Chains A and B, each alone.
Chain A
Amino acid sequence: MQSNQYSVKVFETTISDEQEFKEFFNINYTLFKDHLILIQGEMSDDIKNYLKDKKLQYLQNMNLPKGRSRKALEKEFKRLEIESAVTKQIAEAELKKLSHKLQNNLTVLDGMIRSGRELNIDGDLLLLNRVNSGATINTTGNLIITQVVEGAIRCNGSFMMLTASPKANIVFNNVEVDNSLLENRLNRVELKNDEIIITPVLKKEINWAL
């Protein structure tokens, strides 16, 4: 199929006074001779003949599809752009929140962290040894340390698991944790509704025989 596509200029009007209409076209004929004339409402045979004489194309009571102005288009485009950026931002923030709950970039270390060492871990860390006085550990994710901590810990994940560490300096999501609260063999430190909650995982209990 072959087709052509082009734009047409339309002069849309209603006729209330036939004489006035004719006079208007007599004066402005050169301006509108290439326009499509669209008459909304009634039109008499007299007008039809007048238009035919002038060789003007006309339509009556039609709903032509209107293109929008350039300005309106630009405005609409901008709105969509902002909307998509906001959606993207929200999605990223949600993903970031979720990523801490996932086991992302889990690092497992079993060496002793000696004084003077600074570990910067992107993601979660499982450490199976001591953190000595003078060492620092920073994580963006969750942190589990199975032995005593005497150094400094900076954790920005959603939870930590720590043993009782009376000499440690612990900062969890920019809040310093009172390490006297870590009184059990293993403690879970969580962030829930902007509150730090410490719950014992393994209590020091005596298992009596029957």
Chain B
Amino acid sequence: MGIVIAVISGKGGVGKTTATANLGLGIALNGKKCVVVDFDIGQRNLDMILGLENRVVYDMVQVMEEEANLKQALIKSKVSPNLYFLAASQTKDKSVLNSKKVEKLISELKEDFDFVILDSPAGIESGFEHTIEFADAAIIVVNPEVSSIRDADRAIGILDSKSAKVKNGEEVLKWLIINRIVADMVESGEMLRSNDILEILDIKLIGKIPEDKGVIDASNQGKPVILDKKSIAGQAYTRISGRLCGQKVDMKNVEISDSGLFKKIAGIFK
């Protein structure tokens, strides 16, 4: 039996889908069997970021409506044989989901995979609620800015009240990813520090990802940034994937800029 992880954020555009694609690939590269599911019905993006856009034949909704079986709909990644992808429907909307069908689909996926990663839609509507309902854990992606923090706070509140696990008296694991950190801005006090964010959200930190221009190009090309060994964001995703697979990976402080450190050292020799 695998673990079901929902990737949520509340606010849109903070990097949920990018995180889902990279962590899924990172976990697969660690040798675990992983499936990433796009729950953003009507606005699917994950296929593009994974570079599997032209492979989609059947989608999740067709599986739930029993128009196709799960094996037909699962798309194998070009990069790792351990990674599979299940697409969202682009033509239907969120109203086609219902709890029983979602539960059936997730329990089937859980049997075959070590990790089931669900990419949640932005917002806190029914699509979001269905994503978190049967999740064992949630990865909350935030940007270091107040609007993202508040929306994430709201999403965590709903997770804590509507998840099936919580209703059974168990706890949903919650891990925080702080995405798009600009070290210079944190140092100058323009950007929220991770300690401030952790104090507000009161959940466990699983990783910090620095701002990296390479992410956009990687997404456009359909090659997740984790494959780029030189990318600082890719390295951060590699560290987080390792932690998710149970490895002890030291936290790298991405809130200190290299140039700042260089300047400090240079300052000594002045």
Q: Contact between B202 and A117 (Cβ–Cβ < 8 Å)?
A: no
With both beta carbons as reference points, the residue of chain A lying nearest to B161 in the complex is identified as A117
Complex alpha-carbon distance, A115 and B157, angstroms: 7
Residues of B within 8 A of A (CB): 146, 149-151, 153-154, 156-158, 160, 199-200, 202
Q: Contact between A116 and B157 (Cβ–Cβ < 8 Å)?
A: yes
Q: Contact between B157 and A130 (Cβ–Cβ < 8 Å)?
A: no
Interface centre among B149, B157, B158, B160 (most CB of A within 10 A): B157
Q: Contact between B202 and A116 (Cβ–Cβ < 8 Å)?
A: no
Please give the distance in Å from A132's CB to the nearest CB on chain B.
Answer: 5
Contact A133 B202, CB 8 Å, known A114-B157, A115-B157, A117-B157: no
6 pairs from A and B in contact (CB 8 Å cutoff): A112-B202, A114-B156, A115-B151, A115-B154, A116-B157, A133-B153
With both beta carbons as reference points, the residue of chain B lying nearest to A147 in the complex is identified as B199
Residues of B contacting A130 in the complex (Cβ-Cβ under 8 angstroms) = 199-200, 202
With both beta carbons as reference points, the residue of chain A lying nearest to B151 in the complex is identified as A115
Q: Does A134 contact B (CB under 8 A)?
A: yes
The 3 closest A-B pairs by CB, nearest first: A114-B157, A115-B153, A115-B154
Q: Contact between A133 and B157 (Cβ–Cβ < 8 Å)?
A: no
Q: Kindly list 9 other residue pairs between chains A and B, CB separation below 8 angstroms, not including A133-B150, A134-B150.
A: A114-B153, A114-B154, A115-B153, A116-B157, A117-B157, A130-B202, A133-B146, A134-B153, A134-B154
Pick from A116, A117, A132: contact of B200, CB under 8 Å: A132
Residues of A within 8 A of B (CB): 112, 114-117, 130, 132-134, 150
Please give the distance in Å from B128's CB to the nearest CB on chain A.
Answer: 13
Complex alpha-carbon distance, A116 and B146, angstroms: 15
Complex alpha-carbon distance, A116 and B157, angstroms: 8
Residues of B contacting A133 in the complex (Cβ-Cβ under 8 angstroms) = 146, 149-150, 153, 200
- The secondary structure that dominates the A interface is loop
Complex alpha-carbon distance, A134 and B150, angstroms: 7
With both beta carbons as reference points, the residue of chain B lying nearest to A111 in the complex is identified as B160
- The secondary structure that dominates the B interface is helix
Complex alpha-carbon distance, A112 and B161, angstroms: 13
Residues of A contacting B202 in the complex (Cβ-Cβ under 8 angstroms) = 112, 130
Residues of A contacting B157 in the complex (Cβ-Cβ under 8 angstroms) = 114-117
Residues of A contacting B156 in the complex (Cβ-Cβ under 8 angstroms) = 114
Please give the distance in Å from A117's CB to the nearest CB on chain B.
Answer: 6
Residues of B contacting A132 in the complex (Cβ-Cβ under 8 angstroms) = 150, 153, 200
Residues of A contacting B158 in the complex (Cβ-Cβ under 8 angstroms) = 116
Complex alpha-carbon distance, A135 and B146, angstroms: 14
Complex alpha-carbon distance, A116 and B202, angstroms: 16
Complex alpha-carbon distance, A116 and B149, angstroms: 13
Complex alpha-carbon distance, A6 and B207, angstroms: 99
Complex alpha-carbon distance, A116 and B158, angstroms: 9
With both beta carbons as reference points, the residue of chain B lying nearest to A129 in the complex is identified as B202
Interface centre among B146, B153, B157, B199 (most CB of A within 10 A): B153
Please give the distance in Å from A56's CB to the nearest CB on chain B.
Answer: 93
Residues of B contacting A112 in the complex (Cβ-Cβ under 8 angstroms) = 202
Complex alpha-carbon distance, A133 and B154, angstroms: 9
Please give the distance in Å from A136's CB to the nearest CB on chain B.
Answer: 13
Interface centre among B151, B154, B160, B199 (most CB of A within 10 A): B154
Complex alpha-carbon distance, A178 and B156, angstroms: 30
With both beta carbons as reference points, the residue of chain B lying nearest to A113 in the complex is identified as B157
Complex alpha-carbon distance, A114 and B203, angstroms: 12
Please give the distance in Å from A193's CB to the nearest CB on chain B.
Answer: 38
Complex alpha-carbon distance, A112 and B151, angstroms: 15
Please give the distance in Å from A111's CB to the nearest CB on chain B.
Answer: 9
Interface centre among A112, A115, A117, A150 (most CB of B within 10 A): A115
Residues of A contacting B153 in the complex (Cβ-Cβ under 8 angstroms) = 114-116, 132-134
Residues of B contacting A117 in the complex (Cβ-Cβ under 8 angstroms) = 157
Interface centre among A112, A114, A116, A132 (most CB of B within 10 A): A114
Residues of A contacting B150 in the complex (Cβ-Cβ under 8 angstroms) = 115, 132-134
Please give the distance in Å from A169's CB to the nearest CB on chain B.
Answer: 14
Please give the distance in Å from B155's CB to the nearest CB on chain A.
Answer: 9
Please give the distance in Å from A164's CB to the nearest CB on chain B.
Answer: 15
With both beta carbons as reference points, the residue of chain B lying nearest to A112 in the complex is identified as B202
Please give the distance in Å from B200's CB to the nearest CB on chain A.
Answer: 6
Please give the distance in Å from B16's CB to the nearest CB on chain A.
Answer: 18
Please give the distance in Å from A131's CB to the nearest CB on chain B.
Answer: 11
Complex alpha-carbon distance, A189 and B248, angstroms: 48
